[in-house]
């Protein structure tokens, strides 16, 4: 089955938008500095999409296998309601989040890019993949973004939830 591009009708009932970090909020590349610190880049338009969701009352959060201070800082800077890092059992984490928040799975979306995201995706009503996701992930989901991870994919989903037609530039963001 070929997944469809994310659109408003697919995501309009979402009340909590969860996402992976590496490969979703970032392009998946890591740079290591001389002190051993991992550095990554976050797209500001993704941040604007998250802020727009918050203004509309939609909660957001990250569930990441990597325990990364930079990702935690970015999530806190954006005011995300859920910040889970260093969690290798993402499915269990999402199950716990749904229980704590009292949200039904069908009102929750998870945007991922690789096979370690599949357990989390299996726990939500709307699993989504970025355009450059691993083929196994793309075959699992019904909807994918037009943009790659780290290049506006989160903004694309945010705009779809809000019913905004996001125009893509030449980089796909």
Examine residue 56 and state whether it is found in any structural domain, yes or no.
Answer: yes
- Per-residue pLDDT tens digits for 73-110: 999 999 999 999 999 999 999 999 999 999 999 999 99
- CATH number for the domain spanning 104: value is 3.40.50.1000
Examine residue 169 and state whether it is found in any structural domain, yes or no.
Answer: no
* Number of compact structural domains in the chain: 1
Decide: 44 and 151 in contact? Cβ < 8 Å.
no
C-alpha 98/C-alpha 46 separation (Å) is 23
Look over the chain and give the mean of its residue pLDDT values, rounded to a whole number: 92
Band the pLDDT of 160: cuts 50, 70, 90. very high
Examine residue 173 and state whether it is found in any structural domain, yes or no.
Answer: no
pLDDT at 173: 42
Examine residue 19 and state whether it is found in any structural domain, yes or no.
Answer: yes
Strands 126-129 and 108-112: parallel
Examine residue 153 and state whether it is found in any structural domain, yes or no.
Answer: yes
Give this prediction's pTM. 0.92
pLDDT at 166: 64
Examine residue 94 and state whether it is found in any structural domain, yes or no.
Answer: yes
- For the CA atoms of 110, 112, 114, 119, the dihedral, rounded to the nearest 10 degrees, stands at -10
How much of the chain, in percent, has pLDDT values that exceed 70? Answer: 95
Examine residue 150 and state whether it is found in any structural domain, yes or no.
Answer: yes
Examine residue 27 and state whether it is found in any structural domain, yes or no.
Answer: yes
Band the pLDDT of 3: cuts 50, 70, 90. confident
First to last CA, the chain: 25
Tell me the residue range of the domain where 89 lies.
4-162
Mean pLDDT of 39-47: 93
Range with the largest mean pLDDT of 30-34, 39-43, 135-139: 135-139
Burial classification of residue 135, based on how many CB atoms lie within 10 Å of its CB (0-12 exposed, 13-18 middle, 19 or more buried): exposed
């Amino acid at each position: 089955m070929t997944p469809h591009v994310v659109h408003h009708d697919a995501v309009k009932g979402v009340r909590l938008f969860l996402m992976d970090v590496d490969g979703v909020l970032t392009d998946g590349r890591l740079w290591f500095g001389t002190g051993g610190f991992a550095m990554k880049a976050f797209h500001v338009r993704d941040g604007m999409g998250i802020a727009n969701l918050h203004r509309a009352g939609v909660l957001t959060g990250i569930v990441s296998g990597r325990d990364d201070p930079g990702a935690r800082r970015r999530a806190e800077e954006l005011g995300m309601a859920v910040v889970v890092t260093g969690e290798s059992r993402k499915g269990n984490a999402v199950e716990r989040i749904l229980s704590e928040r009292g949200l039904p799975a069908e009102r929750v979306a998870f945007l991922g890019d690789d096979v370690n995201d599949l357990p989390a995706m299996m726990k939500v009503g709307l699993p989504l993949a970025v355009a450059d996701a691993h083929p196994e992930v793309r075959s699992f989901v019904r909807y994918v973004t037009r943009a790659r991870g780290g290049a506006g994919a989160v903004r694309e989903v945010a705009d779809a939830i809000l019913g905004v037609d996001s125009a893509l530039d030449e980089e796909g963001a």
